[in-house]
Amino acid sequence: MAPWRSAPARTIKYTYLSSRQRPPNNPAGLSNPPETRSPAPRLKRQADAKGNRSAGSPFSFPEHLPMTIVAQGLKDRLPATIRTARLVLATPTLAHVPDMAVLANNKAIHAMLSRLPHPYGENDGRLFIENIARGDSEFAWAIELDGAFIGTVGLHILPEKLPELGYWLGEPFWGHGFATEAAQAVVAAARAAGAAALRSRALKHNLASRNVLRKIGFIAIGEAIEPDHNLAGQAMALMQLEFDPR
């Protein structure tokens, strides 16, 4: 199998903060706790929505790798917080729930994601924060802009499968490059943590999300019919990124 190479990209500086560096009473690991205000009204007026920035196929690692150890080791090496030029990818906390409930309760987002419930309320947000975001098979970050929650990005990590990149962004924030910036940061963090490759998938007709994935180095490797959950029966574009050996 020929190796896949990530597309050339401009150099971006990321700042990582491990869980051991978090100051007391600051579970997100930020220099300053998140603000409660949301920039949604301002960016809603500015938004030029170019499509849904949301991405939800098994691809095995080489057989000789001890998969359970690899999966857990990768999670242990991922940073708790990542800073990019405009965003902070932070540990999801209950402080994010109010904005999460508002932004995720959107049929346009639900229609593109495999596992997002609809309607989406604060109870769903609390369930995600307390049981899923940093659970056994997930490592998610809250995407923050100017201290306010605007979406999530993360890796679905299972034994015997490549880590799967997924994300969603609140509709007022589409069309500004935030999905690309957040996803690119997670790709860089996964590579630094030792991932050999990543996978992702998006609805075949979700050209905006597929374009985000292409911009950060993923290539299309096939198609499949989603077997279950929200997108059952729909055609999915399968995408993969394999890192060059260091």
Confidence of residue 8 (pLDDT cuts 50, 70, 90): very low
CATH code reported for the domain at 15-242: 3.40.630.30
Q: Which amino acid makes up residue 146?
A: D
Measured torsion, CA atoms of residues 213, 217, 223, 227, in degrees rounded to the nearest 10: -50
Lowest mean pLDDT among 42-56, 71-85, 219-233: 42-56
Please state, in angstroms and as integers, the Cα–Cα distance from residue 109 to each residue in 42, 79, 103, 112, following that order. Answer: 20, 27, 9, 5
pTM of the model: 0.75
Q: Quick one: which of 156, 157, 96 has its CA closest to 124?
A: 96
Q: Is 141 strand, coil or helix?
A: strand
Domain residue extents for the chain:
15-242
Tally of CB atoms within 10 A around 77: 14
Name which residue leads in pLDDT, 46 or 108: 108
Instruction: Output the CA angle 218-232-70, nearest 5 degrees.
Output: 45
pLDDT band of residue 57 (cuts 50, 70, 90) is: very low
Confidence grade of residue 72 (pLDDT, cut at 50, 70, 90): confident
CA distances from 178 to 142, 151, 168 (A): 12, 10, 10
Q: 234 Cβ partners below 8 Å, 6+ apart?
A: 203, 204, 225, 226
Two tokens, residue 29: 């690991």
pLDDT higher for 15 or 156?
A: 156
Chain-centre distance for alpha carbon 125: 16
The tally of CA atoms less than 13 A away on the side-chain side of residue 155 is: 31
